[in-house]
Structure 1
Amino acid sequence: MALATTGTLSEEQRAIRDLVREFAVEEIRPTARESDATETFPEAVWDGLADLDLTGLTTPERYGGFDVDRLTYSVVNEEVAYGQLAVATALSVHCLATSCIAEFGGERLKERYLPDMAAGRPVGMFALSEPGAGSNPAEMTTVARREGDEYVITGEKQWITNGERGEVCIVFARTDPDDPGSVTQFLVPKSAGIEVGPKEHKLGLRASDTTALTFDEVKIPAENRLTPEGKGLSAAFHILTGGRIGIAAQAVGLSQAALDEAVAYANQREQFDGPIADIQAVRHKLADMATRVHASRLLVYEAARQADAGADPRIAASMAKYFASEAAVDVCNEAVQVHGGYGYTTDFPVERFYRDAKILTIYEGTSEIQKEIIARGVVD
């Protein structure tokens, strides 16, 4: 059970939380083991998310979206991740894409793409990282060359969530190959000629399709440029700040799921003439886990509140993302330990939680990058 943080949520937010938790338990959880084992995304679950309007979380209402505040967005991310982190990751990346179009796109692009994306399809992608440019995207080599009323994009992107199933890609590229400050943001439909690489076989998050994307002289209309030339990185960092709050919320959801599984197992598993929940060493593990989950949730809520209040949430977002993601790794590790040998088998979901948790410390900014951002706010 989550500790009492409900006082920070409105009645509407609590209702949304409860609705999404019910969907996570009844619809996402039952498919999680098979989709992880087969490395196949559960499309029926995605359609269910769309039916709940969750694929339009960051789309303005005038284009058919839900257009929620950052705290509500965090609550939804937490609860979807409680069901399965791979599904929450796919949803958050889709929402990154719709956020970029909604905030930076022209009216024609918004009208063309946002209503359908809010309804769930086409699925969005976000292409910033490259094989040689991960934590420092200014080193990217993808180039967008202007030719009359078109841009011609050439380059390669790596670690793209929804790479197989996505159809609309937010792409970052230099408009001057020799100028790292010329990074610009574009909307590129897959139908323009994007080549999709083989699906990555990963430690965790196996149901989420992750691929490379290759752009070989891919032509798009000039109106598909989302930012002025040279303003792409600042736009990316702005969008990713909100995205990091969402990732931190996902870490909370995964941690809560691991804690709940550990508590349930400790209460029913008997050793030494009683449930192992009566053993002090186990009880202290559960106490540490619960404290980390609760602290992580409070950091997420604080970052979300700052964003909703119009303050600069960068430091709070990095604190939440750093702490909650590292806590998720520790909490899932301890959940496996509470289960003992059974925790190392696929008979219990904690082994999947453990494998999934690690990516939280890596994508959308590693823990090391988050600590550097926090340090700038403390030292500089």
Structure 2
Amino acid sequence: MGYVFRTEEQQGAVDGLRRYLADKADPLFNKEYRDRFMPKEQMGEFMRELSEFGLISGVVGEEHGGLGLDWLTMIMLFEEVAATSIDLSVPVLINSFGAQMIARLAPAHLRERYLPGLLKGELFCSAGISEPDVGSNVLEIKTRARRDGDHYIINGEKTWISNGSYSDILICTCRTGDDPRRGLTHFLLDRKEHPYEVRDIHKIAWNSQSTAQIFLTDVRVPASNMLGNEGEALKNTLTMFERSRVFVAAQGLGIARRALEEATRYATERKQHGKVIAGHQLISAMLAEMATNVDAARLLTQRAASMIEAGVPAEMEAAMAKYFACEAAVTIARQAVQIHGGNGVTKEFLVEKLAREAIVAPIPEGTTQIQQLIIGRALTGVNAF
């Protein structure tokens, strides 16, 4: 819906993925597993098949076994996943960035051991950043990794961890020193070799995949499992946030687009006062506003993706995309429910689920208010945090 500039190759990739998602993913996530947790084995099958379309494998270069897709193409593909199911999009996003971090930061022995499985969709990764008292301010991380000979012993708690119960590996951000900025380090934990406890969190929506608390008690990890250099986790995390926020923007875009599609379909079928409700001026105006905001969200998201592909700093533009697209999802899903009238609040229609999913979208990867602060700082040079 709405014209999108794509190359012939991009259009072919999007069309093929869209057919697959409509045939296999949509019925499962929006009917059979609607608000119900999908087992790891079944989610893993989707990861393996989506990797063949360029999801997960696309963000890693060919030199490391990936497809090396450009960022704009990746975002186009990811929008299709998010428009089909937000729950399916979450493991794709987390595994993609886990794979990218391992490809970029891991020593050879870790890269060779874990990256192929992630790229093939055979392994699940989690990123342990947030903690009970730590959200957007990574500097306040308390999980401690204490050096003990050739190992580190990790103690702490992580929360709001996507892929938590699915995870085979955890990229854990830990405090290795007291310096707020230079005291954070990433470690790769293998769940079988370095066991951690996982407890799932039930939410208003996004429940077909895993969001969890992770508890680390005297977890002993080899020093050789460090990702990047000691003390560089903050820098690497902020780089990741700039990029991952573009994907979260695409999640908001996906929800908004699907809500618009559902509302448009309903408005051209439902009759009131002798004609389809799309023929009433107020409904037509609502649809026009929704469509304009969907396209605006897409343009902001694709601009940020193009900047990242070009190697241009995009912190402000990624924040704008995430802020606008996720807030647009809330408004558009709400309007879609209104267009459906009483039917919109029943589980017989998808817009009820989309409205709940949209409420969640402005929170991950920094709330809307955090994005506003990032934008304000970029504009003025004044830090209002």
Q: Could you say which TM-score interval applies, normalised by the shorter chain?
A: over 0.9
Partner of 1:376: 377
**Alpha-carbon separation, structure 1, partners of 2:214 and 2:199:** 9
Alignment pair present for 1:154 and 2:155: yes
Residue 71 of structure 1, CA deviation: 0.9
Question: 1:207 maps to which residue?
Answer: 208
Counterpart amino acid of residue 34 in structure 1: E
- Partners in 2 of 1:131 and 1:258 — Cα distance? 33
Percent pairwise identity = 36
Any conservation in 1 of the 2:49–2:121 contact (CA below 8 Å)?
A: no
Residue 88 of structure 1, CA deviation = 0.5
> Shift in Å at residue 130 of structure 1?
0.3
Work out whether residues 21 and 82 of structure 1, in 8 Å CA contact, stay in contact via their aligned partners in 2: no
Distance in 2 of aligned mates of 1:284 and 1:270: 17
Could you say which residue in structure 1 is the equivalent of 2:362? 361
* CA deviation after TM superposition for structure 1 residue 144, in Å: 1.0
Residues 255 and 332, structure 1, Cα contact 8 Å, conserved in 2: yes
Q: What letter matches 1:334 in structure 2?
A: Q
After TM superposition, the structure 1 = structure 2 runs for residues 226-375 of structure 1, keeping only pairs within 5 Å, are: 226-375=227-376
Q: What displacement does 1:379 show? A: 1.0
Deviation at 1:223, TM superposition (A): 1.6
Following TM superposition, by how much is the alpha carbon of 1:150 offset from its aligned partner in structure 2, in angstroms? 1.4
- 1:76-119 deviations in Å (ceiling 9; x for gaps): 21000111001101110111111111111112211111111101
| Maintained 8 Å contact 1:160/1:210 | yes
User: Is the partner of 2:35 in helix, strand or coil?
Assistant: helix
Deviation per residue, 1:250-291 (Å, 9 max, x gap): 211111111011000000000000100001111111001000
Q: Distance in 1 between matches of 2:253 and 2:168?
A: 29
Provide, for residues 328-353 of structure 1, a one-character-per-residue CA deviation record: whole Å limited to 9, x for no partner.
11111111111111110111111111
How far the C-alpha of 1:231 sits from its partner, in A, is 0.9
SS in 2 for 1:159: strand
How many Å separate the matches in 1 of 2:302 and 2:56?
21
> How far apart are residue 47 of structure 1 and its match?
3.6
| Cα deviation, residue 58, structure 1 | 1.9
CA distance in 1, matches of 2:169, 2:59: 16
Does the 8 Å contact 1:54/1:66 carry over to 2? no
After superposing the two structures, state which structure 1 stretch, 22-31 or 238-247, moved more. Answer: 22-31
Q: Which amino acid aligns with 1:97?
A: G
Question: 1:300-341 CA deviation, whole Å, 9 max, x = no partner?
Answer: 111111111110011110000000000011111111111111
C-alpha change, 1:51 and 1:310, in structure 2 (3 Å) is closer
Separation (CA, whole Å) in 2 of partners of 1:169 and 1:68: 25
CA distance in 2, matches of 1:138, 1:194: 26
Residue type matched to 1:224 in 2?
Answer: N
Q: Provide the rounded CA distance (Å) in 2 between the counterparts of 1:46 and 1:226.
A: 24
Aligned positions, number: 376
Give 1:53 deviation, angstroms.
4.3
Counterpart residue number, 1:115: 116
The answer to whether the 8 Å contact 1:87/1:208 transfers is yes
| Alpha-carbon distance between aligned partners in 1 of 2:38 and 2:265, rounded to the nearest angstrom | 28
Uncovered stretches (5+) of structure 1, i.e. residues with no partner: none
2:78 alignment counterpart: 77
3-state SS, counterpart of residue 347 of structure 2: coil
User: Does the 8 A contact of 2:130 with 2:158 survive in 1?
Assistant: yes
Secondary structure class of the residue paired with 1:208: coil
The match for 1:59 is 60
Distance 2:352 2:143 in 1: 38
Deviates more, 1:122-131 or 1:44-53: 44-53
Structure 2 Cα separation of the partners of residues 240 and 271 of structure 1: 47
Pick aligned residue for 1:21 from 18, 31, 35:
18
1:5 aligns with 2:4: yes
Distance 1:93 1:310 in 2: 22
Contact 2:196 2:219 (C-alpha < 8 Å) held by counterparts:
no
Residue 361 of structure 1 contacts residue 367 of structure 1 at CA under 8 Å; is this kept in 2?
yes
Please report how far the alpha carbon of residue 195 of structure 1 lies from its aligned counterpart in structure 2 after TM superposition.
2.7
Contact map agreement 1:322 1:367 (CA 8 A) in 2: yes
Provide the residue aligned with 2:226 in structure 1. 225
Aligned residue identity for 2:16: L
Say which SS state the counterpart of residue 378 (structure 1) adopts: helix
Report the residue type matching 1:26 in the other structure: D
- For the 8 Å contact 2:59–2:71, the answer to whether it is kept is no
CA-CA distance at 1:196 after TM superposition: 3.0
**Alignment deviations for residues 189-209 of structure 1 (CA, whole Å, 9 cap, x no partner):** 112333333211110101011
Supply the distance in 2 between the matched residues of 1:68 and 1:186 (Cα, whole angstroms).
Answer: 27
TM-score by length of 2: 0.94
1:30 aligns with one of 15, 27, 31: 27
Preserved contact between residue 163 and residue 196 of structure 1 (Cα < 8 Å): no
Structure 1 CA distance for aligned equivalents of residues 167 and 340 of structure 2: 37
Partner of 2:179: 179
Structure 2 stretches lacking a partner, 5+ long:
none
Change (3 A) 1:159 1:304: same
Contact 1:144 1:153 in 2 (8 A): yes
Write the distance in 2 (CA, Å) between the matches of 1:292 and 1:266: 18
SS in structure 2 of the partner of residue 191 of structure 1 = coil
